[in-house]
Amino acid sequence: MSNLPILQFEDKILATVHENPVVVIIGETGSGKSTQLSQILLRNGYTNSGIIAVTQPRRVAAVSVSRRVAQELDVRLGDEVGYAIRFEDRTSERTRIKYLTDGVLLRESLSDPELKQYSVIILDEAHERSLNTDILMGLMKRLIKLRASNLKVLITSATLDGEKVSDFFSECPILNVPGKLFPVEILYSAEQPKSYIESSLRKAIDIHVNEPEGDILIFMTGQDDIEKLVSRLEEKIQSLEAGSCMDAVVLPLHGSLPPEMQIRVFSPPPKDCRRIIVATNIAETSLTVDGVVYVIDSGYVKQRQYNPSTGMYSLDVVEISRVQANQRAGRAGRTRPGKCYRLYPLAVYQDNLLEATVPEIQRSSLAGSVLYLKSLDLPDIDILKFDFLDAPSSESLQDALKQLFLIDAIDENGTITNIGKTMAELPLEPSLARTLIEANKYDCLPQALTVAAMLSVEGTLLPGRSKHTDKKRKQPPSELPDGSGWGDHIQLLQIYELWDQTDYSTDWVKDNNLQVRGMLFVKNVRKQLCQIMQKFAKGSLDVRRKERRRDRQNDYKNLRKSLCVGYASQLAERMIRHNGYRTVGFKSQLVQVHPSSVLRTDDEGVYPNYVVYHELISTSHPYMRNVCEVE
Ligand code: ADP
């Protein structure tokens, strides 16, 4: 730790921060920005008048880096050093350094627009250009005017165009922390591979057998690829003749891994054992894995893109940018000279790859962000003219405004309504937040809270509901009461209610092919949502309300009415002729029910006439995911 490059710049950093309200710090990945800057400021009195906030675009980075800093300072995580991510807060009154996701800091600014508890705000990993960090940059610009005398803002990045950010903040100073990267030899493939999993496998085994010691880092696109490649590698390594080469251990690394699995990449390997780490782009800049000498770069990344003219999300595997390719290569040169094998030709790198990744703000639905900005109720902020580092298209801003209008969050003048203000208080997307408010009216808030919690943890919940669109969902519990035929939302509710009746038995979860960690998280999320909604609630928010015998079917009916209001901009009508649905509203297109849905059936006659959907996603077809019948 003591030889991290940033520590040699401690005096320079302190002098610059002392004299300027905003400073941009550019430093190579692994130079110590995330772990050391906060400690430098702590050592030099910056926590005397407030807390140091360090934002991270990714939840896993907030957790991992705070854990590391707590370790370095020899304190318990949650005491002087803590973290806060959505639905999980590990801080206390003693916390002086707080790692938090950029989304959590945005949310905090709703109740405290001047973020008074913080003396320093570090926007870390700004090069990732996450939607929330971009919005925070706009807000910081305003905040610094209000709190110039007692707030310091630091913006750090591994690759960001420093001049652009400096210009954005009235030409604030830029500090460059030179990294000490060793040279990395770049080797290109002669042609694009047919399968980057197979090519990566071959290349990794080739390196393992023929190259001297040093860990291998392979960049894959997502969890599915990673799992496939990890098991292929393990098989292959086992089949290698014992004694023909050193031992190897294969480690996956992606955002949905349980924390104890993520940490494994930070512990040194046993002697004479090579590590082969198979990661998403999380290992590009967010998490620095030491000891890597060989990098295999597939050249691809999985990216979620929103199309405002169709309202549809697609999760596409797209080519990385040149900046990303260079970051990936750099990972091979931290310990000693390394090699980067690009599984694509030089001509692709030169001619096909974009210079930099498109910022998330230009490829996301902005309904949640626009609602947030509106709820700040700042007289000087006009959403359509908000000062963004890179502005989103006016089409996507208009799309967001229309969606918000349809669910009563703003009125026809674009002013936020009382409903909109309540929605903004909930850490949920606008459609779900609106559903909760309506459910309170219809006396089915406890049920709606369960659905919202289940949907918020989607992905970790049901094994069969992963991104494999061709996979059918695993069978739901057999004892589900009538009503699940109405759709996924009702089924999610019923699953949780059944679990509740077993007093949250882990055996029941396992017996029903659900994930224990996921279900426990749902329970926790539900509890937190209850705490927020309690002040608006008409009655008890318990799953099992004791006040009277409830009519389940009536609850389902009311829940569906509430969903209809919450998802008013996500409604679809049956089109028998086209064997699917047509989305209704300002965008009209033909879509199908996702294969994972409980509504998916081979019997064409039983599809409902009208449904609402949680999201539209384009994979092999345009699909509605999480669908519920409405009348
Ligand atoms: P930067 O933010 O400039 O990319 P970091 O501060 O994240 O750099 O990393 C500095 C060093 O700390 C690296 O050598 C990295 O491997 C190490 N490090 C970071 N997080 C952890 C962790 N959770 N456990 C162990 N080492 C870590």
In sequence order, what DSSP letters do the residues of 448-497 get, joined into one string?
A: HHHHHHHHHTTTSS-GGGSS-TTSPPPPPPTTPPTTGGGBHHHHHHHHHH
Out of 68, 281, 331, give the residue to mutate to test ligand 1, the one with the largest number of ligand atoms within 8 Å of its CB.
68
Ligand 1 center to residue 286 CA distance, Å? 9
Atom of ligand 1 at shortest range from CA of 64: 23
Q: So what's the pLDDT on residue 604?
A: 60
Asked if 229 contacts 201 with a C-beta cutoff of 8 angstroms, the reply is yes
Predicted ipTM beyond 0.90: yes
Asked if 120 contacts 372 with a C-beta cutoff of 8 angstroms, the reply is no
Could you report the per-residue pLDDT of 352-382, keeping only the tens digit for each? 999 988 899 998 889 999 999 999 877 656 6
In this predicted structure, the answer to whether residue 539 has a pLDDT above a threshold of 80 is no
Q: Ligand 1 atom 21: the closest Cα is on which residue?
A: 68
Comparing 41-45, 72-76, 459-463, the range with the smallest average pLDDT is: 459-463
Could you report the per-residue pLDDT of 190-243, keeping only the tens digit for each? 988 889 999 999 999 999 999 999 999 999 998 889 999 999 999 999 988 766
Higher pLDDT, 335 or 24: 24
Ligand 1 center to residue 53 CA distance, Å? 17
Q: What is the mean pLDDT of residues 139-163?
A: 89
Could you report the per-residue pLDDT of 245-297, keeping only the tens digit for each? 788 999 999 988 877 788 888 888 888 899 999 999 988 887 888 899 999 99
Q: So what's the pLDDT on residue 545?
A: 57
In this predicted structure, the answer to whether residue 469 has a pLDDT above a threshold of 60 is no
Residue 5's closest CA among 39, 34, 28?
A: 28
- Report residues whose beta carbon is within 6 angstroms of any ligand 1 atom: 4, 27, 29-36, 64-65, 67-68, 266, 288, 290
Q: So what's the pLDDT on residue 511?
A: 87
In this predicted structure, the answer to whether residue 39 has a pLDDT above a threshold of 90 is yes
Higher pLDDT, 472 or 48: 48
Q: So what's the pLDDT on residue 243?
A: 67
Out of 10, 34, 124, 257, give the residue to mutate to test ligand 1, the one with the largest number of ligand atoms within 8 Å of its CB.
34
Biggest distance spanned by C-alpha atoms of the chain: 74
In this predicted structure, the answer to whether residue 548 has a pLDDT above a threshold of 70 is no
In this predicted structure, the answer to whether residue 459 has a pLDDT above a threshold of 70 is no
Higher pLDDT, 161 or 452: 452
Q: So what's the pLDDT on residue 269?
A: 80
Confidence of residue 164 (pLDDT cuts 50, 70, 90): confident
Could you report the per-residue pLDDT of 485-495, keeping only the tens digit for each? 788 999 899 99
**Residue 108 Cα distances to 103, 113, 597, angstroms:** 9, 8, 35
Asked if 403 contacts 571 with a C-beta cutoff of 8 angstroms, the reply is no
Q: So what's the pLDDT on residue 262?
A: 81
Could you report the per-residue pLDDT of 295-315, keeping only the tens digit for each? 999 999 988 888 877 777 788
In this predicted structure, the answer to whether residue 334 has a pLDDT above a threshold of 50 is yes
**Residue 547 Cα distances to 448, 523, 526, 534, 616, angstroms:** 18, 22, 20, 17, 39
Q: So what's the pLDDT on residue 481?
A: 64
Q: So what's the pLDDT on residue 467?
A: 34
**Cα gap 422→86, rounded to integer Å:** 18
Higher pLDDT, 385 or 60: 60
Q: What is the mean pLDDT of residues 531-540?
A: 81
Handedness of CA 458, 461, 464, 468 (dihedral sign): positive
Out of 275, 288, 334, 335, give the residue to mutate to test ligand 1, the one with the largest number of ligand atoms within 8 Å of its CB.
288
Q: So what's the pLDDT on residue 107?
A: 92
Instruction: Name the residue type at position 224.
Output: D
Q: Ligand 1 atom 10: the closest Cα is on which residue?
A: 32
Comparing 104-108, 479-483, 598-602, the range with the smallest average pLDDT is: 479-483
Ligand 1 center to residue 285 CA distance, Å? 10
Q: So what's the pLDDT on residue 472?
A: 43
Residue 609's closest CA among 571, 567, 554, 553?
A: 571
Ligand 1 center to residue 539 CA distance, Å? 48
Mean pLDDT of the chain: 88
Q: What is the mean pLDDT of residues 410-433?
A: 92
Token pair listed for 305: 């893109």
Ligand 1 center to residue 250 CA distance, Å? 21
**Cα gap 454→626, rounded to integer Å:** 11
Could you report the per-residue pLDDT of 552-569, keeping only the tens digit for each? 888 889 999 999 999 998
**Cα gap 133→121, rounded to integer Å:** 12
**Cα gap 545→551, rounded to integer Å:** 11
Asked if 373 contacts 404 with a C-beta cutoff of 8 angstroms, the reply is no
Among 265-274, 334-343, 392-401, 588-597, the range with the most confident prediction by mean pLDDT is 334-343
Alpha helices in 220-263 (DSSP H): 223-239, 259-263
520 DSSP β-pair partners? none
Confidence of residue 466 (pLDDT cuts 50, 70, 90): very low
Q: pLDDT above 90 covers what percent of the chain?
A: 57
Ligand 1 center to residue 203 CA distance, Å? 27
Higher pLDDT, 552 or 160: 552
Q: So what's the pLDDT on residue 227?
A: 95
Q: So what's the pLDDT on residue 482?
A: 63
Q: So what's the pLDDT on residue 160?
A: 66
